[in-house]
Structure 1
Amino acid sequence: MGDLVDRLVSGLPEAAVAVDPDVVASYAHDMAGFCEAGSPAVVVFPETVEQVQHVLRTATELRVPVVPQGARTGLSGGANAVDGCIVLSMVKMNRILEVDPVNRLAVVEPGVVNAELSRAAAGHGLAYPPDPSSWESCTIGGNIGTGAGGLCCVKYGVTAEYVLGLDVVLADGRLLSTGRRTAKGVAGYDLTRLLVGSEGTLGVVVRAVVALRPAPAPQLALAAEFPSTESASAAVCAVMAEGHVPSLMELMDATTVRAVNAMARMGLPESTRALLLVAFDGPAKEAELAEVARLCREAGASEVVPAEDQAESDMLLEARRLSLPAMERLGTTMIDDVAVPRSRLGEMLDGVAAIAERHRLTIGVVSHAGDGNTHPVVIFDSADPDETARARASFDEIMALGLDLGGTVTGEHGIGLLKREWLARELGPVGLELQRQIKAVFDPLGILNPGKAL
């Protein structure tokens, strides 16, 4: 321990190295607090690329594991410490280095908060579309690590579609640059895409070139109440089959609606079994909303309420963003992230309801309905061993249900610790072997975020 700290301090400001037990313990895990976490040896806060390289060289020489962290808003234990590790917190590398309106890109450090990039882009009439629910606190580096999505991904896509290039420090301290700043580019293997979603297991992102888009017009939304998840899912399918491209399409079940009302007193309709929020931002948004309202009624909606103005639209979208914080007030949460084909969304929701009843648990579901990405939130008392065991069992059954429906065990949260076993099931033995071989090329000593994902 003494040798490790001395070596780190030799290439870092003393204030960048934290060894106080209380400080170190506070960096042991992300928001998946129920996942196991080890005790870090030290937490470091680099501010330059060279400092990150020094940390990785030191770790390689001393064979010490390194766990990269951003804002620790992750929900799968991907940023949880392992015993004796260096926690590499990237939050102080938080500069927006460039916004280029001609080439429609930005160059940022990994600690830049998602919302801060969005605001900087807006000053040039541009937007950075990926917008996770935690956008006011999560960092671009963390978004890249997990391949994050967001509420508007049904129209604008996810993080991987916006990362043009990366500067990455490898396990041995070498600096790798991938990708491009040009609109096109297919030279060599696509290492940029490989690194997006790798959860810090292949390298540490120190700089990113991300694409921007012209800022869209303000969204106009509607809320549709449904007496069943089946009818709500039928509406989603009808909207997509008719060729509409909403800027947002989100579904909240009754449990989630009640939780949001209890937290924020928003007056959402608690009599509904499913609340569908749909928004458009194009020039014909009023006409498109009217058409979607018709489709919702034909699918069985009991009521369709268009927002009268921008303020009402913003309130509806804020209600959706509050879903997870509201559910967290009910107890310990175990949050699934299962994506299924849109056409099977109803089966997924009904299956989760059956699992909740079978295990005598509260499970709320909120989903990016436009792309089939569901977030079942299992509520349990972590101090009750029996209830915790039932929660674990329900989590596994939800994962299995998603795979059985032709889906994936994670659409945007990553694998982390929580889903390692399920990743193996989804990939199969050949896929898993190849991924482990790739990991060995980038990190032959296995010191980067060990025990995560693979």
Structure 2
Amino acid sequence: MSSALELATDRSGVAPDGPPRAVVRATTVADVQRTLAEASRTGTPVVTRGAGTGLAGGAAAGPDTIVLDVSGLDRILGIDPIDGIARVEPGVITAELDRAAAAHGLMYAPDPGSVAICTIGGNIATNAGGLRGAKYGVTRDSVLALDVVLADGTRLHLGRDTVKGVVGLDLVGLLVGSEGTLGVVVGATLRLLPRPARVGTAVAYFASVTAAAVAAAELGAAGLRPSVLELVDGKTLAAIDELRGTDHAGRGAALLLVQTDGFGAGEELAAVAAVLARTASALDTTHDVAAGAALAAARRDALPAIEARGRVLIEDIAVPRSRLADAVGGVHAIAEATGTDVYVFAHAGDGNLHPIIRLDPDPGAADRAAEEIFALALALGGTVSAEHGVGLLKRAWLERELGPDVVTLQRRIKDLFDPAGILNPGKAL
């Protein structure tokens, strides 16, 4: 069992000043309600956590804080294959829900990189995306209803079980991505989709990362919408080769992974291959599921391969898809100017880049590079956080991206939900 100090941080590496005042390991909704009611009465800050896989310090908890661990609320309450919905508690592991849905011929579409260890509650807190986001969107697109406990212990049911519905304001959409600042999610009704009957996979190598980014944009311009469209730069390919004994970097300076799905997967894959073949130095395609998984392994191996080289800062920005090449080129220029070791892979289908910055030997230089990368994202019309959240680490950028009037409005909304200011204070907003 994790210690109190271990439960006071997340994967971001933010180090708390000391252990939290208390840790509550909730196993029932009543546990959550009692904890929040007492915390509201005493004015004690509460930080809610699930698996602790967050990368922005959103689950970091100081010494005067109660850590509310909801990972024990981990039941799949039901799957309805007719209506295509699942009812779950927040501690359910995302991959486990997808496996349970597969037994009914369905899938849970959001597919974050940490899918095997992250929880549904954490996905909802940060509006997580993932590899299938190019076609199926992010977590918000799969959430129909939420059971939420407010700061004073009041339990509310928000949303509905129907796909359509416009009665009242969209409070579900407001809660998704709010990083535990407005309420604690204790249940969710999630949309499931038919599991694709067919899957096609293409892996293309390019002479430069710019050429790969341009090819990704050309797929969109051709009217193609693959389920997966991922980019991996040459430095990352070299790290993967070092870890796995492969030869990706020998085949090109960048890689695009593309998957199509559904009954028209074969026809769409042929169209994808035709676009990629114009500029790719090498191209592999397959309709076999196992072979496709093998081709896709390089993208799944990207982060573990980089982490095998040392401590890293895992960043997350997004730009308009038309500016993807500019963003990748800009990140590489920042790496050169700051003398930092930066790796890039991206959800190219929705313009979401993950620049991974080595912290050794100079953490200060890594921090400076990250600041310049955030500024680059805004200059290109993008955002400083696509799916990891703002948390503690990016809060200083909130006003630069949104403007003071919008920030003030958002904080007024928080005051309505949490008048005592106890829910994850100092994070996100």
TM-score tier, shorter chain, comes to over 0.9
Match of 1:325 in 2: 304
Find out whether 1:79 has 2:63 as its counterpart. no
Structure 1 residues 353 and 285: CA distance shift in structure 2, 3 A: same
Secondary structure, aligned partner of 2:5? helix
Secondary structure, aligned partner of 2:67? strand
- Whole-angstrom CA distance in 1 between matches of 2:407 and 2:217: 33
Q: Which moved more, 1:405-414 or 1:22-31?
A: 22-31
Find out whether 1:429 has 2:400 as its counterpart. no
1:104-158 per-residue CA deviation (whole Å, 9 max, x = no partner) reads 1010000000011101111111111001011111000000000000101111111
- Whole-angstrom CA distance in 1 between matches of 2:189 and 2:24: 24
Match of 2:389 in 1: 414
Identity %: 50
Matches within 5 A, 1:95-114: 95-114=75-94
Does the 8 Å contact 2:5/2:18 carry over to 1?
Answer: no
- Whole-angstrom CA distance in 2 between matches of 1:313 and 1:255: 23
TM-score (norm 1): 0.92
Secondary structure, aligned partner of 1:148? coil
Cα shift at 1:264: 2.9
Match of 1:170 in 2: 150
Match of 1:223 in 2: 203
Find out whether 1:400 has 2:400 as its counterpart. no
1:205-260 per-residue CA deviation (whole Å, 9 max, x = no partner) reads 00001111111124221111111122112211111111111010000001111222
Find out whether 1:356 has 2:329 as its counterpart. no
Q: Indicate the RMSD between aligned Cα atoms, in angstroms.
A: 1.5
What letter matches 1:443 in structure 2? Answer: D
TM-score (norm 2): 0.97
Cα shift at 1:429: 0.5
- Whole-angstrom CA distance in 1 between matches of 2:247 and 2:266: 24
Cα shift at 1:327: 1.4
Secondary structure, aligned partner of 2:248? coil
Structure 1 residues 270 and 65: CA distance shift in structure 2, 3 A: farther
Cα shift at 1:308: 6.3
Find out whether 1:196 has 2:176 as its counterpart. yes
Matches within 5 A, 1:36-115: 39-115=19-95
Does the 8 Å contact 1:126/1:212 carry over to 2?
Answer: yes
Find out whether 1:123 has 2:103 as its counterpart. yes
Match of 2:230 in 1: 250
- Whole-angstrom CA distance in 2 between matches of 1:147 and 1:375: 16
1:336 to 306, 312, 315: 315
Q: Which runs of 4+ in 1 moved over 4 A?
A: 34-38
Secondary structure, aligned partner of 2:168? coil
Q: Which moved more, 1:263-272 or 1:72-81?
A: 263-272
Match of 1:391 in 2: 366
Does the 8 Å contact 2:196/2:263 carry over to 1?
Answer: no
- Whole-angstrom CA distance in 1 between matches of 2:65 and 2:326: 43
Secondary structure, aligned partner of 2:277? helix
